[in-house]
Every structure is written in structure tokens, then in C-alpha cells.
Amino acid sequence: ETGVTQTPRHLVMGMTNKKSLKCEQHLGHNAMYWYKQSAKKPLELMFVYSLEERVENNSVPSRFSPECPNSSHLFLHLHTLQPEDSALYLCASRLATGRNTEAFFGQGTRLTVV
Amino acid sequence: GDSVTQMEGPVTLSEEAFLTINCTYTATGYPSLFWYVQYPGEGLQLLLKATKADDKGSNKGFEATYRKETTSFHLEKGSVQVSDSAVYFCALKVGGAGGTSYGKLTFGQGTILTVHP
């Protein structure tokens, strides 16, 4: 248990569905991240929020829409996804006031797009 | 840009064997280096880290030394256990809260380790 909780753990959705992934931390962290983990590929950083402001968007398609309503919660809204979007989506958080502070990861949401 | 290259897996060992997983990196600044471990069905957990040249990170019998001259951070363990079976990720981070990196981690592709009794 790292203190970062992701829900749901597993999600199967059709290409026309709309769903949301949720990440929650009560560690007092102020930076949150979404990563995508696909088979046989390095983890890909998708979005970074620092102090509730999106500071990085790594050329992610618009069918992925992040939201950070407060420093404890991060969402990833999904719509009209493609089968190649099937992956493990990992949320991480850290205290962004120190150079060497550790990032804590959630257990991930295993997404399957059918 | 920043990148991390890990030895390709999967790596299969017998219990009590010696483990080495190679990791090399390229970075635009002076990075901190990390090894993360992912057990089956779980997210990533920090295993160890090193923040400057010649630092040695260690945890749970695993060690890695930050070698600036060879831009490497190889993971080693003298005697692996079945419970060490997992995916291991080498990662780097340049900068902290500000600047243009916001503390983001750049990962290698991961190395699957399987340890048999």
C-alpha cells in the first residue's frame, strides 16, 4: 500500500463508451502524474499536474482528458478510445518542493478497449 | 532528450543465484537515478535510488551504484529469492519542482525477472 489509490482496478469499455479513471492520494503531495504502461514498451508519461495546474501534456490524443480538481484527486476521462489504448494506466504523486522526493505509484487501472 | 536503456529480458534464475540487470542512460542535465519494482498485479514501488555520482543505493539486498563516467546504474543482488520475481524498471529524473521537467521520470522498458526454486 503506497498511499495512492486508483479505481477501478480493471475496466473493459467499448470504443463508443465514456468512462473515467480516478486517482486519490492523501499524502500531502502536490504533483500528480498519469503514465501509460503498454506491453514491451517503456512507461510513457502522459500528463503532469503541479499545484493543480497542468504543466505537461506529452502529445496525448484528445480522447484522453485529465482533470485535477484539487491536490488530492486526479481523473483521466476517456471517450471514443481505440483498441491500441488498452494498457495499464498508472497514477503517481510526489511532493514537488524537493529535488529528490520520491514518486509514489498507485496499483494502476487495467484498461481493455473492445 | 533523456532516455534509459535496460538489458532485455526476460531473465530466469535459480534461487540463490547472482543477479545483474544492466541500465545505461542519457540525460540533458544531472539526473537522479532510480530502480522501481513491479510485482504481479501491482503498481510500481521504489526499490532504491542514487542522487549523485558514486552514490550507492541499496534496499532488500539489492544494490546499484551511480557511475557518471559510464552513465550506468546496474542493479545487482548476491542471492535472489523466488519472491524477487517481478518486473524491474530503471528510471531517471532531471530537475525537481520547477524548470521544464517537473520531476517527471523517464523509464526504461523494464526487465522481467523470474526466479525458480
Q: Is B51 on the interface with A (CB under 8 A)?
A: yes
Region A27-45: mean pLDDT is 89
Decide if pLDDT at B4 tops 50: yes
pLDDT digits (tens, 9 = 90+) for A68-87: 999 899 999 999 999 999 99
pLDDT band at A58 (very low <50, low <70, confident <90, very high): confident
Region B20-49: mean pLDDT is 92
Q: DSSP character for A101?
A: P
The residue ranking higher by pLDDT, A58 or B73, is B73
Pairing relation of β-strands A73-79 and A18-25? antiparallel
Alpha carbon distances (Å) from B89 to A12, A41, B38, B93:
27, 11, 8, 13
| B:54-83 residues touching chain A, CB 8 A cutoff | none
Please give the pLDDT value at position B41: 81
The residue ranking higher by pLDDT, B68 or A51, is B68
Decide if pLDDT at B98 tops 60: no
Decide if pLDDT at B65 tops 60: yes
Secondary structure (3-state) at A83:
helix
Pairing relation of β-strands A109-113 and A87-94? antiparallel
Share of chain A above pLDDT 70, in %: 96
| B:13-42 residues touching chain A, CB 8 A cutoff | 32, 36, 41-42
For B51, name the nearest residue in chain A, comparing CA atoms only: A100
Please give the pLDDT value at position B101: 55
CB contacts < 8 A, A to B, total 72
Pairing relation of β-strands B44-50 and B19-21? unpaired
User: Angle at the Cα of B66 (from A107 to B113), degrees rounded to 5?
Assistant: 45
Region B7-14: mean pLDDT is 91
Decide if pLDDT at B99 tops 50: no
Please give the pLDDT value at position B53: 94
- For the beta sheet containing A64-70, the strands, ordered from the edge strand earlier in sequence to the opposite edge, are A4-7, A18-25, A73-79, A64-70
Q: Which residues contact B44 (CB under 8 A, 6 or more apart)?
A: A43, A90, A92, A105, B36, B37, B38, B89
Distance between CA A91 and CA A49 in Å, rounded? Answer: 11
Rounded (10°) CA dihedral A66, A67, A73, A76: -30
pLDDT band at B103 (very low <50, low <70, confident <90, very high): confident
Burial A56-86, CB ≥16 within 10 A → b, else e? beeebeeebebebeebbebbbebeebeeebb
Radius of gyration of chain B (CA): 14
Contact A99 B46 (CB under 8 A): no
Contact B32 A43 (CB under 8 A): no
For chain A, the average pLDDT equals: 90
| Nearest beta carbon to residue B43 from set A42, A101, A108 | A108
Distance between CA B106 and CA B114 in Å, rounded? Answer: 24
Please give the pLDDT value at position A98: 62
Decide if pLDDT at A2 tops 80: no
pLDDT digits (tens, 9 = 90+) for B74-97: 999 999 999 999 999 999 988 654
Q: Which residues contact B10 (CB under 8 A, 6 or more apart)?
A: B111, B112, B113, B114
